[in-house]
């Protein structure tokens, strides 16, 4: 699907946010600057709005590796694994040790080899024009038709 505006990207994130549940994991795949953190910002802000919370600033966790956002009955854990070079470094983060009341968003998930049943993969690529992105959404079960619905 071709995304031609930030508003369209926001609409996609809104649709996905309405289907999220505790334990879900989103892998964001794409080059630097393609819109992974922008998508995450929209997603988290949409979840905050749905729960009647004030929108917070959502930053890229490139240097911190992780930012957490409390959203009433669950926590968003936003990881950026860009700086990690070896999969053993993931063990120190404990990404999959806390699953029950969390939703994980992982940018640069290449090193993650843990099999997940509740994983949604979102691939973002640059389009022909500067403001266009090509987005591919893949996942099992409830995620099967998300791309067709947005």
pTM for the structure as a whole:
0.90
Q: Is the pLDDT of residue 149 over 70?
A: no
DSSP for 23-90? T-EEEEE--TTSSHHHHHHHHHHHHHHHTTPPP------TTTSEEEEEETTEEEEEEE-TT--STHHH
Q: Does residue 43 or residue 87 have the better pLDDT?
A: 43
Residue 90 · residue 110 · CB < 8 Å = no
Q: Does residue 96 or residue 133 have the better pLDDT?
A: 133
Question: pLDDT tens, 85-129?
Answer: 888 888 777 787 766 789 999 999 998 988 888 899 999 999 998
Query: What confidence score (pLDDT) does residue 145 get?
Result: 66
Q: Please choose, from the candidates 85, 136, 28, 127, the residue with its C-alpha nearest in 3D space to the C-alpha of residue 146.
A: 136
Query: What confidence score (pLDDT) does residue 36 get?
Result: 95
Question: pLDDT tens, 50-79?
Answer: 999 999 999 887 778 889 999 988 899 999
Mean pLDDT of the 130-150 span: 79
Give dist(CA 93, CA 103) in Å, integer.
15
Q: Please choose, from the candidates 48, 58, 4, the residue with its C-alpha nearest in 3D space to the C-alpha of residue 28.
A: 58
């Amino acid at each position: 699907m071709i995304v031609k505006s930030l508003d369209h990207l926001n609409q996609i994130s809104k649709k996905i946010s309405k289907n999220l549940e505790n334990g879900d994991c989103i892998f964001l795949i794409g080059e630097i600057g393609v819109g992974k953190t922008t998508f995450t910002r929209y997603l988290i802000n949409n979840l905050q709005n749905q729960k009647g919370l004030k929108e917070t600033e959502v930053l890229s966790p490139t240097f911190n590796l992780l930012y957490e956002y409390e959203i009433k009955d669950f926590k968003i854990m936003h990881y950026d694994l860009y700086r990690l070079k070896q999969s053993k470094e993931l063990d120190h983060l404990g990404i999959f040790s806390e699953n029950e009341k969390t939703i994980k968003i992982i940018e640069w998930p290449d090193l993650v080899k843990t099999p997940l049943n509740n994983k949604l993969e979102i691939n973002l690529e640059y389009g022909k024009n500067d403001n266009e992105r090509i987005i591919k959404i893949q996942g099992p079960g409830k995620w099967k038709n998300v791309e067709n619905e947005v």
